[in-house]
Structure 1
Amino acid sequence: MEAIDPAYGTATLLLIAAGAVALLLFLIMKVKLHAFVALVLVSVLTALVVGFPLADIPAAMMFGFSSTLGSVALLVAFGVMLGRLMEVTGGAQVLADTLIGRFGEKRAPLALGVAALLFGFPIFFDAGLVVFLPIILTVARRFGGSLLLYALPAAGAFAAMHAIVPPHPGPVAAAEALGGSVGVILLVGIPVAVASWYVGVLLVSRYLGARIDVSVPVALFGEVNDGRGQIARDGEGETGDSTGSGAAARMDRKPPSFRTVLLLLLVPLVLISFDTVLDTLTVTGVLEEGESWAAFLSLLGHTPVALLITVLVAIAVLGRPRARMTEVTKILDDALGPICSIILITGAGGMFGGVLRLSGIGDALSGSLADLGISLIVQAFVIATLLRVAQGSATVALTTTAGLIAGAVAEAGLGDFQTALIVIAIAAGATVLSHVNDSGFWLVSRFFGMDERTTLKTWTVMVTTLGLSAFVIALGFWMVV
C-alpha cells in the first residue's frame, strides 16, 4: 500500500504523531487500557486525523498489522516451542552452566552478551532473541537479581549486530544505495558494533539493573528446571503435565550434553546464514539471480523455515529420547498458550507504526531535512534519528536516509572507509529511541514481562546509548581521516 499525499505540512504531521504517541501512553499507563485495544484505537484515530479516505482506513491498518504479524507469529511460535523443549529437558540449564563455568558467575552477563554477538552475526534481532530467551531466563533465575542484568546485554548484542553489521539487510541496503563496499562496511562495522555494545549496552545494563528490579517472568517457560531434565508423567501412562503439577509422577532422565545443545543452536545459525549471506552476495553481484541451488538454500534459511527445522531436530534429539511423542506434543502445545498476547500486541504495534508511515510523515520529513547545511555524517545521523522517532521502523529509517543522502555522498567523492562510516551513522540513528510505534519495543516488553513505563526506562534508554555510542565512534574516525 502506498502512502497518501499529506494533507498537512511537516510540522503538523509531527504534531499529530506526537499527539498519537502521547494519547497511547496515556491510555495504557494512566487509564490502564489493554495495550492491544489501545494500539488499535489510536491507530484508527490517527488515520482519521491524518486524513485517510474512510474507505482506505481498514487497509491502512492491516498494512502494518499483517506484515508484522506475518513475520512475528511463526517466529515466536517456533521459538517458544524450541525454548520450552530446552527448558524442560535441562538443555538450557546445561548451556547456562557451561557458559558460567567458562566465564565465571560474576561475568554471566558478559558471557550471554558475547554469545549473542557471535550468534547475532547472521541471525536477525527478533529471531536471535526468541532462541536465546530460555537461556537468558535460566541464567537470571539461577543467580537472582534484576532480569535486566542478563537480558539487556544479550538483547543489545543482537540489536547491535542487526543494525550495523552486514549481512543484515539494513546495512547492506544502505551500502547499495550509497555505492559503498559491503566488505569494508563489514570490517569496520564489527569492531564498532562490539565497542558500542560494550559501552552503550553492557555498562549501561549494569547501571539499569542495579536500580530497576525486573522479576523473571514464568508465563512462557514455567518455573525453573531443576537441571536434571525431569519431565512429568502420570502413573497411568497418560499425557503428563510438563510443569510437574497435580499428582503426576516425575521421570528422571539425563539432560542433553553441552555439545548436543550447542549443535542444536547452530542449526538455525547455519540455516539462516544461508539466506542472509546469499542475499548479500546477490545484491553485490557476486551471484546471479535465479540460481536454483541458491534459491533452495535461501528457502532453508528463511527464518520461519529454519526455526521449523530446528524444532523438528529438537523433538528428535531432546524430546523423544526422554518422553513419548504425546508428551512432547503436550509440551509444545502448552508453550503456545502464553504467546497469544505477545503476538497480537506486537502486531498492533506494527499497525500503529504502519499508519504513521502511510500518513506520509516520512516523505514530508525527508523533504524538509534534505539540506541541513551540516556535516554529512551528522546530517545522516540526525535524519535517521528523526525518521526513526517519527514512524518507528528502523529499516525504513535506514533505507530512506540512505536514499535521501545518496546524491550528496556521490558528489562528495567519498572513499569506501568514509562511506562505511556514513552507513554506521545512519544505522546508529535508526537504532535510537525505540518506543511505542516500534513493534520491537512490544516484543521486548512482553518477552521480559515489563510494563510500558519500565520498557521506556530500560530498553529505550539502552538502544539510545547503543546508537549514540556507535555514532560517536564513527564520528571520531570521520574527524581523523
Structure 2
Amino acid sequence: MDAIAPAYGTATLLLIAAAAVALLLVLIMVVRLHAFVALVLVSVLTAVAAGIPVADVPDALLYGFADTIGSVALLVGFGVMIGRLLEVTGGAQVLADTLISRFGERRAPLALGVAALLFGFPIFFDAGLVVFLPIILTVARRFGGSLLLYALPAAGAFAAMHALVPPHPGPVAAAEALEADIGLTLLVGAPVAVVSWYVGVMLVSRVLGRRVHVDVPELLFGEAVDPADTSPAPTGGASPGRGQDAAGTGARSATAVRETSAPSFATVVGLLLLPFVLIAFDTVLATLASAGVVDEEATWVASLRLLGNTTVALLLTTLVAIFTLGTRGRSLSDVGTILDKALAPICSIILITGAGGMFGGVLELSGIGEALSGSLSDLGMSLVLQAFVVSTLLRVAQGSATVALTTASGLLAPAAAAASLGELQLVLLVVAIAAGATVLSHVNDSGFWLVSRFFGMDEATTLKTWTVMETTLGLAAFGCALALWPVAGALG
C-alpha cells in the first residue's frame, strides 16, 4: 500500500503520533487492557485522526500487520520448535555447559554476547534471537539472577550487527543511497559494532541486570517435557522457582536427558550453524549481485538464495532438528506432541508483535515520516550530527528502524554529494544514520513487542531495559562516528 498524502501539517501529525503513543501506554500500563486489543484500537483511532480516508483504514491496518506477522509467525513458529527440541533433548544444556566450562560462570554473559556477534554477521536480528533463545534461557536458568544479565548481551549483539554491518539490508541501503563503498562500510561497521556493543550493551546490561530482576519465562520450560515422556504435564502444584537445578522441573528434565544420551556438542553447534550458513547464502549473494559480481538471475544464485530465505532456512533446520534430535528414542508422533506444546504459548507473541507492526504501519502511512523529512532538510549543523538527529526523529515518530534508516539516507544524499565528502566520511554518515535508527525502540516498534514477550517482560520493564539498552547502543555507535569524523576529514 502506498503512503497516503498527509492531511495535516508536520506539527499536527507529530502531535497525533505523540497522543497515540501516550494513549497506548495509558491503556496498557494504567488501564491494563490487553496489549493486542490496545494496539489494534489505537491503530484504528490514529488512522482516523491522521486523516486516512475511512474507506482506506482497513487496508492501512492490514498493511503493517500483514507485513509483520507474515514473517514473524513463521519465524517464531519454527524457532520455538527448534528451541523446544534443543531443550527437551538436552542440546541446549550441552552447549551451555560447554560455553561455561570454556569461559567460566562469571563470563557467561560475555560468552553469549560474543557468540551472538559471530552468529549475527549473516542473520537478521529477529531470526538470530529466535534461534539463540534456548541457549540464553538455559544459561540464565542454570545460574539464576536476572534474565537480563544473559539476554541483553546476546540480543544487543544481534541488534548491533543488524544495524551497522553489511550485508544486513539497513546499512547496505544507506550506503547505496549515499554512494558509500560497501566494502569500506563493512570494514568500519564491524569494529564499530563490536565497540558499541561492549560499551552500550555489555556494560549497561550489568547495571540493568543488577537493578531490574526478570525471571526466566516459561516459554520453553513451563511444561518441562521429559524427553522420554510426551504425556501432558500435570496441572496444579507450585511452579518451580528461579534457578531450581537440584529440584523441580529443570532437574527432572535434565536428568532424563542425560539418561537418554544428550546430543554431542558438535551436533548442537552444527544445528545452530545450519540456519546461519543458509541465510548467509541469501545475504551475501544479494550484496554481490547488487555490486555486479554475480548474476542474480543465474540458476545457482537463485537456488542458493532460496535456501537462504529465512523461512526456508528455518524450515530445513527444523526438519534436521526433528530427525537428529527429536527421533532419538521417540516416534514422529511423540515429536509432534512436543512441537504442539512448543507452539501453544507463542500465539500471544505473534499477535502482539503483528499488532505492533500494524501501529507502526499506520504511523508510516499517515505521512508522519514524509512530513518530518521535509521539515528537516536544513538543520544548520554538521552532516554527521544532522544524520543522527534526522534518523532519530524518524525512528521515534514512526517506529521502524528500516524506514528511518532508508528515509534519512535518502534525505541526506543530496547534501552529502554537494559536500564532496571522502569515502570514510560517507561511511561514517552511514554509521550515524544507523545509530539514530537504533535508539529509543518503544511501543510503535514491532521489535519492542518481540523482545517484551520473548523475555516475559511487561511494557514498563521493557521500556526501562530494552529501550534504554537500544538507546545506549545507538549513542555508543554515534560516539564512534563523531570521534572518527575529524580523522576522516583530515584524510579527505
Query: Aligning the two structures, in what range does the TM-score lie when normalised by the shorter sequence?
Result: over 0.9
1:75-474 mapped onto 2 (5 Å cutoff): 75-222=75-222, 230-233=226-229, 240-241=230-231, 252-474=259-481
Q: Which amino acid counterpart does residue 68 of structure 2 have in structure 1?
A: T
1:420-458 CA distances to partner (integer Å, 9 max, x unpaired)? 111000000000000000000000000000000000000
Letter in 2 for 1:200: G
| Aligned match of 1:74 | 74
Query: Separation in 1 of the partners of 2:223 and 2:109?
Result: 21
Structure 1 residue 405, shift from structure 2 partner: 0.6
The CA distance in 2 between the partners of 1:443 and 1:24, in whole Å, is 17
In the alignment, the residues of structure 1 paired with residue 271 and residue 218 of structure 2 have an alpha-carbon distance, to the nearest angstrom, of 23
- Greater shift after overlay, 216-225 or 90-99? 216-225
**Counterpart AA for 2:268:** V
The verdict on how the C-alpha distance between 1:394 and 1:358 changes in structure 2, with shifts beyond 3 A counting, is same
Report the alpha carbon displacement of residue 170 of structure 1 after superposing the two structures with TM.
0.3
Residue 247 of structure 2 is matched in structure 1 by none
Corresponding letter in the other structure for 1:256: P
Match of 2:193, SS state, is: helix
Instruction: Work out the CA distance in 1 between the residues paired with 2:298 and 2:169.
Output: 20
TM-score (norm. length: structure 2): 0.93
Residue 231 of structure 1 aligns to a residue whose secondary structure is: coil
Distance 1:215 1:460 in 2: 19
- Other-structure match for 2:3: 3
> Whole-Å Cα distance in 2 between the matches of residues 475 and 98 of structure 1?
39
Contact in 2 for aligned 1:83/1:221 (Cα 8 Å): no
- Deviation, 1:287, is 1.8
Deviation at 1:243, TM superposition (A): 5.4
The answer (yes or no) to whether the contact 1:10–1:368 under 8 Å persists in 2 is yes
1:245 Cα deviation from its structure 2 partner: 7.8
Look up the match of 2:248. none
Report Cα offsets for 1:59-114 as digits up to 9, x if no partner.
00000000000010000000000000000000000000101111110000000000
Q: Is the 8 A contact 1:123 1:269 kept in 2?
A: yes
Q: Is the 8 A contact 2:228 2:329 kept in 1?
A: no
Task: Give the aligned partner of residue 35 of structure 1.
Answer: 35
Q: What amino acid sits opposite 2:281 in the alignment?
A: F
* TM-score, normalised by the number of residues in structure 1: 0.96
Residue 480 of structure 1, CA deviation: 2.5
Q: How far apart are the structure 2 equivalents of 1:151 and 1:131?
A: 13
**Aligned counterparts of 2:411 and 2:419: Cα–Cα separation in 1:** 14
* Contiguous gaps of at least 5 residues in structure 2: 237-251
Aligned counterparts of 2:361 and 2:61: Cα–Cα separation in 1? 7
Equivalent residue letter for 2:285: L
* Alpha-carbon shift at residue 285 of structure 1 (Å): 1.8
Q: Is the 8 A contact 1:10 1:361 kept in 2?
A: yes
> Percent of aligned pairs with the same residue?
73
Please give the alpha-carbon distance, in whole angstroms, between the structure 1 residues aligned to 2:32 and 2:206: 30
Corresponding residue SS for 2:228: strand
Which range moves more in the overlay, 430-439 or 409-418? 409-418
Q: Which amino acid aligns with 1:420?
A: V
Is 2:401–2:437's contact at 8 Å kept on the other side of the alignment? yes
Aligned length: 470
1:479, distance to aligned residue in structure 2 (A):
2.0
Question: For 1:425 and 1:176, how far apart are their aligned partners in 2?
Answer: 15
Cα 1:8–1:174 shift into 2, 3 Å:
same
| Residues 363 and 160 of structure 1: CA distance in aligned 2, closer, same or farther (over 3 Å) | same
Aligned partners of 2:391 and 2:436 also within 8 Å: yes
Distance 1:101 1:285, change over 3 A: same
How far apart in 2 are the matches of 1:394 and 1:372? 21
